[in-house]
Amino acid sequence: MHDDLGLRQARGMAADIWESITVADLRPGDRVRLRGEFEFDVARIDAPFLGMDAMVCIIEDTPARWHAYAAPLVEPVEARRAG
């Protein structure tokens, strides 16, 4: 079934929007675009990373794969949240 943005808005459903934010503003459940090459759902965020308060480890954890991405809190990312 095709569900486009106009139909979702007409039904009163929130559209997913991409926001430009920093890593510090990410939260579990966000869909993130990181460094223009990685797109994934954030499962959890471990902080501080390697003892550095300015760094975090963003964890992707799905049945298909697990990956960890180290990132500074000030790094810009795009995040999609139900809006």
Kindly list the domain boundaries of the chain, sorted by start residue: 16-82
Reported as a single tens digit per residue, the pLDDT across 2-38 is 444 444 444 444 567 899 999 999 999 999 999 888 8
Reported as a single tens digit per residue, the pLDDT across 30-63 is 999 998 888 999 999 999 999 999 999 999 999 9
Residue among 43, 48, 17 nearest 28 (CA) = 43
The pLDDT of residue 83 is 53
Which pTM does this prediction carry?
0.76
Instruction: Please give the CATH architecture assigned to the domain spanning 16-82.
Output: Roll (2.30)
| Angle (nearest 5°) at CA 30 between 27 and 31 | 145
